[in-house]
Structure 1
Amino acid sequence: METKLYQNRTFDTVDYSDQSLSNVEFVNCEFLNCNFSKSDLSHNDFLDSTFKNCNLSLAVLKNTGLKNIKFIGCKLMGLDFSASNSFLFSMNFEDCLLDYSTFIYKKLKKTNFTDCSLKETDFSNTDLSLAVFKNCDLSGTTFVESILEKTDFRTSRNYAFDPSENKIKGTKVSYIALAGLLEKFDLVIE
């Protein structure tokens, strides 16, 4: 099947919800106020593109290419990013709702999460080295066998991870969060 190419295009207030798109390549495109909720975006490629105020909740991303993508003000609840294509996988998030999403086994080196909600998000076996979580809510987020080296959590809240189960050399945390990092030891910190 031939791949359809969209380049340097703006898509504004388009409703793709509950629809299936396949074999489409979007290069340097901008998506504004679009609804992709529950849509099947499998086998598509997005490159150097921006999503602003879009809803992608529960979209299917099986073998979807996400290369140098910016999500701004988007609702991305329940997305399984771990099913997407790993080749050149790179994204940044600003003011996004990423609750209940999954990034298992993804490389998110130097990824920026700014003013995001990441409640119950799974980062197991994820490379988050040099990532920055700026002013994010990480309640119930899972970090197991993750690479958190030089990751910056200082301005975020509600994060907890076991230092013995993750690589944490140079990880930046606030002193207030130390209790969450020592949770498994059942210490009384005053």
Structure 2
Amino acid sequence: MEYIHDKRFTQIGRDEIMYTDFEGCEFAGCDLSRCDYTGTAFIDCRFIDCNFAGAKINYVAFRDVSFFNCDFSDVNFAMVDKLLFIISMTGCNLDRAKFYTLKLPKTVFTDCSFVATDFMAADLTDVIFDNCDLHKAVFIDTIANKTDFLSSRNFTIDPERNRLKRAIFSESGLRGLLAKYDLVIK
């Protein structure tokens, strides 16, 4: 296992990442798509304009990691290393990503796209979805207590199938909570 700290990467190969611990590193413009990063750890790192589309991140540790304008389409987060899993994302594409059963307490997502993303049985307690598109995102058996959906849009969440105690919604967002009742709201 290799340990790399305080380094900036603009290109990095697949073989350089597997089974490596990165601490305090910055990755900018890296194409990390369709690769297998099993056993890798990122601690206090930043990713800017990186492509993770379709990457396998099983048992990857993300500890206090920030992502800016990154593509995570079709990525399965359900098998990441759950110990101290702390991330924040701004301007990221998470379409068709999977967060099944993952605990994401107090995570902040800003200006992100979650089209058809799977949040089944995830713990979203205190998560902030700031100006996020949640079109066709799946919320079933999700814990969304105190979750902030105030500025998000296009979500459909069944209050009978999810925990929403003290979750925050805008008045216009109430439509997404009542969709299953086929009501006419004017």
Q: Considering the TM-score relative to the shorter chain, is it more than 0.5?
A: yes
Asked if residue 23 in structure 1 is aligned to residue 13 in structure 2, the reply is no
TM-score, normalised to structure 2's length?
A: 0.96
Asked if residue 88 in structure 1 is aligned to residue 84 in structure 2, the reply is yes
8 Å Cα contact 1:75-1:98 kept in structure 2: yes
8 Å Cα contact 1:20-1:41 kept in structure 2: no
Counterpart position of 1:115: 111
SS in 2 for 1:86: strand
Counterpart position of 1:180: 176
Structure 2 residue corresponding to 1:155, chosen from 151, 157, 172: 151
Q: What's the offset of the Cα at 1:43?
A: 1.0
1:32-181 mapped onto 2 (5 Å cutoff): 32-181=28-177
Aligned residues: 186
Give the letter for the 1:16 counterpart: G
Give the letter for the 1:183 counterpart: A
Structure 2 residues not aligned, in runs of 5+ = none
8 Å Cα contact 1:57-1:75 kept in structure 2: yes
C-alpha RMSD over aligned residues: 1.3
Give the letter for the 2:76 counterpart: D
Counterpart position of 1:10: 8
Q: What's the offset of the Cα at 1:15?
A: 4.8
Give the letter for the 2:75 counterpart: L
Structure 1 residues not aligned, in runs of 5+ = none
CA pair 161-15 structure 1, distance change in 2 beyond 3 A: same
Equivalent-residue separation in structure 1 for 2:94 and 2:16 (angstroms): 22
TM-score, normalised to structure 1's length?
A: 0.94
Give the letter for the 2:9 counterpart: F
Q: What's the offset of the Cα at 1:175?
A: 1.0
Equivalent-residue separation in structure 2 for 1:51 and 1:60 (angstroms): 17
Give the letter for the 2:149 counterpart: F
Q: What's the offset of the Cα at 1:16?
A: 3.4
Give the letter for the 1:91 counterpart: I
Identity of aligned residues (%): 35
Equivalent-residue separation in structure 1 for 2:16 and 2:120 (angstroms): 29
Q: What's the offset of the Cα at 1:20?
A: 7.8
Give the letter for the 2:151 counterpart: T
Give the letter for the 2:169 counterpart: V
Equivalent-residue separation in structure 1 for 2:18 and 2:35 (angstroms): 11
